[in-house]
Amino acid sequence: MSFFNKLKSKLFKSSSQLEEGLDAIVEEGGALSEPDAPEPPAAPEPPKPEPRPDPAPEPFPAPQDPDPTPRPQEVPDPAPSEVPQGPVPVEIPDDTPPGQPNTGGLLGRVFGRQSAAPVVRRPLDDDMLESLEDLLITADMGVQTAARVTANLAEGRYGRRVSTQEIKEALAEEIARIMEPVARPLPLYAKKPQVVLVVGVNGSGKTTTIGKLASQFNAAGKSVVIAAGDTFRAAAVEQLQVWGDRAGVPVMTAPQGTDPASLAYDAHKKAEEDGADLLMIDTAGRLQNRADLMEELAKIIRVIRKRDETAPHNTVLVLDATTGQNALNQVEIFQKIADVSGLVMTKLDGTARGGVLVALADRFGLPIHAIGVGEQIDDLSPFDPEEFAAALTGLTR
């Protein structure tokens, strides 16, 4: 299963609420734009199917231009008038190429059934904006960001009659606009070894993220050394060793309870001797004892700088999406402790609504290097703002 299929299916599951909510908001106080539109659950096959030979999309399809310009007076899909009146499929089966006219892959297929529903329009008024804002808050976007997104959404559209599809497009456009500047993979420098310090609270998926990143860099032909710097948690060290063995990446360890700074020093030495491209340093994440942690991280940085004044070249904060708005607090705390240069968001599955990523981008503007939706190595992937925005809003593309 490709990464985006996973992202879509997982975000779809969790954000279906957002999508349903959008439908509900428009329907409430809205009116059908066609007097003789078919019954609500209709999901008609479009009139001119374009059979797609390969139903499996590429793992990283180039984002299409979603054409987000709202066209309020235009019926977006002529399909409803040509609905076959027989039993209509509620869900389009996976193996038949549905041939949505403007489908962008599985996403279009999954969400396709929504776009073909009769077009209900509703004036974009204060009530609707308030409902939209609430919906975005429910999706974990945070109060401030939700307010900002809603305000931007209203600009130039206020008072117009809009359909769910138009709202989704506008919302996706707005979200993608916020996310675009932060979607940047971990930058690679010519510096050898490039030191990447990985920080985050325990349980955020820090160790797994290091394992996955190391595997991916290794597969891309970069040589990596890992320093298992969370020397207080034996489990973290073992976990890294498993990842290291699997990826063929050397993992430097030290006995439990020893000084992680000296391990980092040794690891840097080894990385330099081996001519490694990257040195990834795992760190402890015991936030409850912040003073200790701060001292520990400061010491690692101090010691590493004895070997390379420019290190660490990246300080990556790993965040667990299921902690919701608390992720924002964690960024603030770690920005004080360490000079965070970028984020990795893990566990963007399950109940995580994904909106917290928008809040993070809006509030901090830190690069989001990767997002993770599962336990497999390729479940960690670069962040694509447009795909994300479309998945979050349930936009048909």
With respect to other proteins, which residue has the nearer C-beta, 286 or 307? Answer: 286
**Closest distance of CB 357 from other proteins, Å:** 12
List the interface residues with other proteins, window 223-282 (CB under 8 A): none
Strands annotated E in the chain: 31-32, 120-123, 161-163, 194-199, 224-227, 251-252, 278-282, 314-320, 342-346, 368-372, 380-381
Name which of 145 and 314 has its Cβ closer to other proteins: 145
Point out which residues pair with 319 in neighbouring strands: 345
Pairwise CA distance, residues 369 & 209, whole Å: 11
Is the CB of 20 or the CB of 238 nearer to other proteins? 20
In this structure, are residues 140 and 324 in contact, taking their beta carbons and an 8 Å threshold? Answer: yes
Asked if the bond preceding 193 is cis, omega within 30° of 0, the reply is yes
User: Whose Cβ is closer to other proteins: residue 21's or residue 367's?
Assistant: 21
- 134 is a contact residue toward other proteins (CB under 8 A): yes
Question: Which CB sits closer to other proteins, 13 or 336?
Answer: 13
Q: Could you tell me the strand order of the sheet in which 31-32 lies?
A: 31-32, 120-123, 161-163
- Residue 346 assigned to a binding site: yes
Q: How far apart are CA 345 and CA 255, in angstroms?
A: 30
Tell me whether strands 120-123 and 31-32 are parallel, antiparallel or unpaired. antiparallel
Q: Binding residue per annotation — 284?
A: yes
202 labelled as ligand-binding? yes
Binding other proteins by CB under 8 A: which of 283, 322, 341, 393? 322
Tell me if 282 is assigned to a ligand binding site.
Answer: yes
Regarding 326 and contact with other proteins (CB under 8 A), the answer is yes
**Position 112 contacts other proteins (CB under 8 A):** no
200 assigned to a ligand binding site: yes
Annotated binding-site residue? 206: yes
What angle in degrees, to the nearest 10, is found between the helix axes of 385-393 and 3-27? 40
Positions in 4-23 near other proteins (CB under 8 A):
17
Candidate residues 22, 116, 117, 137; the one interacting with other proteins per rule CB under 8 A: 137
Give the contacts of 53 (CB within 8 A, at least 6 positions apart). Answer: none
Stretch that binds other proteins, among 179-187, 242-250, 294-302, 343-351 (CB under 8 A): 343-351
Span interacting with other proteins, options 51-59, 136-144, 255-263, 378-386, rule CB under 8 A: 136-144
Distance CA 224, CA 215 (A): 9
The minimum distance between CB 325 and other proteins, in angstroms, equals 7
User: Cβ(268)–Cβ(279) under 8 Å?
Assistant: yes
Q: Is 204 annotated as a binding residue?
A: yes
* Minimum gap (Å) between residue 255 Cβ and other proteins: 30
List Cβ neighbours of 33 (8 Å cut-off, separation of 6 or more). Answer: 75, 119, 120, 121, 161, 163
Strand-by-strand arrangement of the 224-227 sheet: 251-252, 224-227, 278-282, 194-199, 314-320, 342-346, 368-372, 380-381
The burial of 269, by beta-carbon neighbours within 10 Å (0-12 exposed, 13-18 middle, 19 or more buried), is given as middle
Is 121 annotated as belonging to a binding site? no
Nearer of residues 20 and 378 to other proteins, judged by Cβ: 20
Give the interface segment with other proteins, choosing from 73-81, 93-101, 246-254, 316-324 (CB under 8 A).
316-324
Does 25 engage in binding with other proteins (CB under 8 A)? no
Integer Cα distance of 112 and 110 in angstroms: 6
349 in contact with other proteins (CB under 8 A): yes
Amino acid letter for position 357: L
Residue number, 12 or 217, with CB nearest to other proteins: 12
Told to check if 117 binds other proteins by CB under 8 A, we report no
Q: Is 347 annotated as a binding residue?
A: yes
Number of residues interacting with other proteins: please give it, by CB under 8 A. 22
**Residue 186 annotated as part of some ligand binding site:** no
**Could you tell me which stretch among 80-88, 296-304, 335-343, 345-353 binds other proteins (CB under 8 A)?**
345-353
The amino acid occupying position 204 is S
Is 340 assigned a ligand-binding role in the annotation? no
Q: Considering the complex, state which of residue 17 and residue 262 has its C-beta at the smaller distance from other proteins.
A: 17
Beta bridge partners of 196: 280, 314
Residues that bind other proteins (CB under 8 A): 17, 133-135, 137-140, 142-143, 146, 322-326, 349-353, 356
